[in-house]
Amino acid sequence: VNILGNTQQKTFTVIYDVDKKRIGFGAKGCN
């Protein structure tokens, strides 16, 4: 299995939209 680890997730808003079965990424999420 491939892994998308936390180094690559840093600073993005990562959105787990479980109801719509989708995952989102928004840049500069911690600001």
Partner 1 sequence: AAEGSEPKKWHVVSVSSLLPSTACTAAKAASKSSALRVVHRHGPCSPLHARGDAPSHAEILERDQDRVDSIRRRIAGASAIISDADRVADSKTVSLPARWGIPLDTTNYITTVGLGTPPRNLSVEIDTGSDLSWVQCKPCARCYEQQDPLYDPAQSSTHSAVPCGSRECQKVEAQRCAADDKCRYDITYADKSHTNGTVVRDALTLAVSHALPGFVFGCGHDNDMGPYDKIDGIFGLNRGKVSLPSQVAARYGGAGFSYCLPSSPSAEGYLAFGGAAPPPNAQFTEMVNGAEPSSYYLDLVGIKVAGRELEIPPAVFAAGGTIIDTGSVISRLPPRAYAALRSAFVRSMAAYRRAPALSLLDTCYNFTGHTRVRIPSAALVFAGGTTVSLNARGLLFVSTVSQTCLGFASTGDETT
CB of 31 to partner 1, least distance (A): 8
Instruction: Give Cβ neighbours of residue 30 (< 8 Å, ≥ 6 apart).
Output: 11, 13
Q: Is 15 helix (H, G, I), strand (E, B) or coil?
A: strand
Number of residues that bind partner 1 (CB under 8 A): 30
CB of 10 to partner 1, least distance (A): 5
CB of 25 to partner 1, least distance (A): 5
Q: Which residues bind partner 1 (CB under 8 A)?
A: 1-19, 21-31
